[in-house]
């Protein structure tokens, strides 16, 4: 569901702005001065929409359009080819996404949803409020780069740029360029196509640039931050399983999960995934430590069929199962103090593993837990192990980590996190920001849909390719209209079902 406080806040701000605008426009004494003030600053206000337009960047666009004309000719022709390919690819991708959404609606399998390349993003619902700043800045940056491509391409084709602007629609920021329509209509379809494809082309280039920066980030930060020495804790969710006096703290370096070494965030995720999918690990403890008094608790079955032998709900004891080396082939159960039993012990799966690694008589004891629940020792020196009992994904969601370990104490832990997170948002295929959002703009704007770049790209493409095959202009326009109608329906279906999946579930 959409968070009510966020919705009330957004509605309240827009209602206050629109009420103030209405009062000033209806005022006899302030109307003229207010409208003059808006016009002089290029501001336009309508319900849930604020727009600002200026000509101050026109000289910058003109300067960019004059840089190395030959290279720019090849650059924007490459954009033309990419735009045509992206238009076809976006239809294929949206069709695939629609099929996956429909399949997800009819099944409870969460893996289908995680396989979707595109997903509707609703702030406060499937986008954490803590990441709204990253999201909106990356969205605005992607929009500005997109419109910069249109502006420079237009000036190269002798189309006048009337101005550049930024807008806010509800909560989403964006950018636009105002082109002189008369100039745009008299140039050739190929020239039009270069202009219309320039936006999605520059979004794609921004994706590649952000990915390259993300890939080279360890090299750029090498003088200040090191990698490969573990995963640094940057945040622990308050009240979670990882919180507490003997839990993890901001600044801790995790180097292992059981016998799985952790050199970075990817290792942390893969180790947790492996632990989730494999049987519970056992621990080699000396046979003499299995004192009979600990085994007096009577074992009983849980509802899921697993065994328990600790009936006092102790926070320090845990039920362990083991096989006696010279006894019958049956399992014994003992309720033992967990930290004392597993501190400094080796992992095992059978008694033979313990015999091969230790000269003293040892037994492999295994925590007797409910299905899907795991006991995990988290190594974060110089502190003692953090002991976790629960569902492994809960541990993953409770802790935020980074690969970058500061070399000096005065360095901030969050700088690499900020750079990583922000760079990921320019794609918004389901990677994350500059990569995530710019990629999404490239895909969505390429769709042959009314009011998007894809509409003008399709019209120019049909005029450039079908003029000799379909000589009647009205028939070409009819073909274009039908294709646009189909593309608009495809995009609308994806957005509508995507919103329903995000907000209703």
Of the residues 147, 157, 258, 420, only one is catalytic, namely: 147
What string of DSSP letters covers 71-83?
HHHHHHHHHHHHH
Told to judge if 147 belongs to the known catalytic residues of this protein, a careful annotator would answer yes
The most distant pair of C-alpha atoms in the chain lies apart, rounded to whole Å, by 100
DSSP conformational letter for 280: P
Which backbone phi and psi does 367 adopt, to 5 degrees? Answer: -55, 130
Spatial distance between the Cα atoms of 473 and 490, rounded to a whole number of angstroms: 26
Which backbone phi and psi does 257 adopt, to 5 degrees? Answer: -125, 105
Containing 420, the helix (H) or strand (E) segment is helix 414-424
Spatial distance between the Cα atoms of 339 and 317, rounded to a whole number of angstroms: 8
Which tokens is 35 given? Answer: 């409208």
Region label for 313, one of left (φ > 0), alpha (ψ between -120 and 50) or beta (otherwise) = left
Nearest to 137 by CA among 402, 443, 438, 431: 438
Based on DSSP, count helices (H) and strands (E) in the chain, helices before strands: 16, 22
Spatial distance between the Cα atoms of 432 and 419, rounded to a whole number of angstroms: 12
Spatial distance between the Cα atoms of 375 and 387, rounded to a whole number of angstroms: 7
Q: What residues are labeled active site?
A: 147
């Amino acid at each position: 569901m959409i968070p009510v406080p966020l919705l009330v806040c957004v509605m309240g701000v827009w209602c206050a702005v629109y009420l103030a605008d209405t009062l000033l426009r209806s005022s006899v004494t302030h109307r003229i001065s207010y409208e003059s003030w808006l016009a002089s600053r290029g501001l336009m206000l309508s319900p849930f929409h604020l727009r600002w337009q200026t000509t101050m960047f026109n000289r910058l666009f003109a300067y960019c359009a004059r840089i190395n004309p030959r290279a720019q000719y090849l650059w924007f022709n490459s954009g033309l080819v990419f735009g045509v390919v992206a238009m076809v690819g976006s239809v294929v991708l949206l069709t695939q996404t629609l099929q996956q959404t429909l399949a997800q609606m009819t099944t409870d399998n969460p893996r289908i949803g995680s396989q979707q390349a595109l997903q509707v993003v609703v702030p406060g619902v499937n986008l954490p409020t803590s990441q709204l700043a990253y999201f909106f800045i990356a969205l605005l940056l992607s929009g500005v780069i997109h419109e910069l491509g249109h502006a420079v391409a237009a000036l190269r084709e002798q189309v006048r740029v009337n101005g550049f602007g930024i807008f806010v629609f509800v909560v989403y920021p964006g950018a636009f360029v105002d082109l002189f329509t008369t100039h745009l209509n008299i140039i050739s379809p190929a020239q039009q196509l270069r202009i219309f494809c320039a936006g999605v082309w520059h979004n794609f280039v921004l994706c590649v640039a952000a990915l390259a920066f993300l890939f080279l980030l360890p090299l750029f930060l090498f003088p200040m931050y090191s990698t490969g020495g573990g995963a640094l804790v940057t945040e622990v969710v308050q009240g979670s399983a990882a919180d507490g006096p003997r839990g993890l703290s901001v600044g801790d370096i995790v180097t292992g999960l059981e016998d799985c070494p952790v050199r970075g965030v990817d290792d942390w995720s893969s180790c947790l995934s492996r632990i989730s999918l494999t049987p519970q690990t056992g621990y080699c403890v000396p046979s003499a430590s299995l004192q009979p008094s600990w085994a007096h608790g009577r074992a009983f079955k849980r509802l899921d069929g697993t065994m328990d032998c600790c009936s006092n709900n102790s926070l320090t004891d845990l039920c362990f199962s083991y096989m006696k080396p010279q006894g019958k082939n049956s399992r014994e159960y003992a309720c033992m103090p967990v930290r004392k039993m597993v501190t400094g012990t080796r992992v095992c799966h059978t008694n033979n593993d313990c015999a091969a690694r230790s000269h003293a008589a040892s037994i492999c004891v295994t925590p007797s837990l409910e299905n899907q629940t795991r006991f995990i020792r988290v190594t974060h020196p110089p502190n003692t192990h953090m002991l976790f009992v629960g569902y492994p994904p809960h541990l993953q969601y409770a802790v935020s980590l980074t690969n970058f370990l500061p070399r000096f104490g005065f360095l901030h832990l969050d700088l690499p996190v900020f750079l990583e997170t922000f760079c990921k948002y320019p794609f918004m295929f389901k990677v994350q920001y500059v990569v995530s959002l710019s990629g999404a703009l490239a895909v969505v704007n390429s769709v042959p849909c009314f009011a998007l770049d894809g509409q003008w790209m399709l019209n120019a493409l049909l005029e450039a390719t079908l003029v000799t095959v379909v000589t009647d202009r009205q028939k070409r326009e009819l073909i274009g209209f039908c294709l646009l109608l189909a593309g608009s329906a495809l995009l609308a279906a994806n957005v509508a079902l995507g919103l329903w999946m995000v907000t209703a579930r």
